[in-house]
């Protein structure tokens, strides 16, 4: 069995744009993670960066189902004793409107060096404006 290594020069990276307004947060994150990994490409291999760039706009307007606005909690720890902090989704979306989307996409990427590299290729914006018009992003509709 041979390990396949695709030359990076032969891969042309595309840019995709996803409008998250009114769409489910998790479904947008799944679609973004699949594009970042390159799972829809025929030359996909799990140990290489085969994916494209993703721009997510209107991240603060993504919807969540049920009572997640009041019930979903994000945790962080200061690494000091008693330093556990928690924040509900509703407050988080007001304080850092892009964080829930970034957190969801990052959780769906592989852990380790490959995942950290892939996460640099996702750009999340709270509103409809983004500075990547020169890349001519392709809109993603099937979410």
Residue 125 tokens read as 């914006």
Distance CA 39, CA 78 (A): 36
Residue 40 tokens read as 């829809």
Residue 8 β-bridge partners: none
Residue pLDDT, tens place only, 88-112:
999 999 999 999 999 999 999 999 9
CATH number assigned to the domain with residue range 8-94+110-139, chosen from the 4 options 3.90.1180.10, 3.30.70.2080, 1.10.10.10, 3.40.718.10: 3.90.1180.10
pLDDT band at 8 (very low <50, low <70, confident <90, very high): low
Q: What pLDDT, on the 0 to 100 scale, is given for residue 2? A: 82
pLDDT band at 9 (very low <50, low <70, confident <90, very high): low
Residue pLDDT, tens place only, 79-90:
999 999 999 999
User: Of 114, 138, 105, which is closest to residue 27 (Cα–Cα)?
Assistant: 105
Task: Report pTM.
Answer: 0.91
Q: Exposed (0-12), middle (13-18) or buried (19+): which is 98, by Cβ within 10 Å?
A: middle
Where are the chain's structural domains?
Answer: 8-94+110-139
């Amino acid at each position: 069995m041979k390990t396949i290594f695709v030359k990076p020069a032969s891969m042309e990276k595309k840019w995709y744009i996803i409008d998250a307004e009114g769409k489910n947060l998790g479904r947008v994150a799944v679609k973004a993670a699949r594009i970042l990994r390159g799972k829809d490409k025929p030359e996909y291999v799990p140990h290489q960066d085969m994916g494209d760039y993703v721009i997510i706009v209107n991240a603060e307007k993504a919807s969540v189902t049920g009572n997640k606005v009041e019930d979903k909690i994000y945790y962080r720890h200061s690494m000091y004793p008693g330093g556990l902090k928690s924040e509900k989704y509703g407050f988080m979306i007001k304080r850092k409107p892009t964080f829930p989307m970034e957190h969801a996409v990052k959780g769906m990427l592989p852990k380790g060096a490959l995942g950290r590299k892939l996460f640099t290729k996702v750009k999340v914006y709270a509103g409809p404006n983004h500075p990547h018009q020169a890349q001519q992003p392709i809109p993603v509709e099937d979410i």
